[in-house]
Amino acid sequence: MNFNSHTDVVVAVAVALVNTLTAGESRGRPYAPPSGEERAAAVTRAVAPGASRSYEVSAEQADELAGVAEALRTVFESVAAGDIDAAAHHTNRLLAETDARPHLDRHDGEPWHVHFHGRGGTLAGDWAASCATGLAVVLGSELYDRLGVCTAPHCDRVYVDTSRNGTRRFCSTPCQNRVKTAAFRARNA
């Protein structure tokens, strides 16, 4: 995609948080988010690709991020419904609520780069602020419509379309295959 690599990573973490922490349907089945210890472990996995060092997410932080994930989901749903104005308003609210603010950081021999920090100096607060900012960067770019909700039956997992031509419609290869198989069966019935 055309964003800088940090934005790509942060948007991928937003997708992972929404898909891990919000209830609904996933790949043809009902989906209930994990709770307790399992939730903390799932959130640890979800944020790992964007973390500069490995850490364990606590149960409290995971609970806090579950609330954030619900708010992030409304942004994906608004874009999928073609309501970019609503997506922008939801994102602005999240930026304000998370108190997102840029901060130049340098660690592990990397050059200076922008991180987003949030309220309270907590990991959950920083991730909430980073995810809100990542979605804001997408919505403010020419790729504003690249956030989506899976269009396969009985699936509402979200995705970011990083394909060149922007034709992605499914959360995953399994959902794409389910729809292809159904269409094939329908043609041959």
Pairing of strands 113-117, 101-105: antiparallel
Q: How far is the CB of 162 from Zn ion (least distance, A)?
A: 16
Backbone angles phi, psi at 67, to 5 degrees: -65, -40
Q: Give the number of other CB atoms < 10 A from CB of residue 94.
A: 22
How far is the C-alpha of 23 from the C-alpha of 30, rounded, in Å? 8
* C-alpha to C-alpha distances, 145 to 32, 51, 141, nearest whole angstrom: 27, 26, 9
**Which residues lie near Zn ion (CB under 5 A)?**
150, 152, 155, 157, 171, 175
Q: Which is nearer to Zn ion, 73 or 115 (CB)?
A: 73
Q: How far is the CB of 151 from Zn ion (least distance, A)?
A: 8
Q: Which is nearer to Zn ion, 72 or 150 (CB)?
A: 150
- Cα Rg of the chain (Å, integer): 17
Q: Which is nearer to Zn ion, 90 or 157 (CB)?
A: 157
Q: Which is nearer to Zn ion, 129 or 147 (CB)?
A: 147
Q: How far is the CB of 11 from Zn ion (least distance, A)?
A: 18
Q: How far is the CB of 28 from Zn ion (least distance, A)?
A: 8
Q: Is the dihedral of CA 134, 140, 142, 147 positive or negative?
A: positive
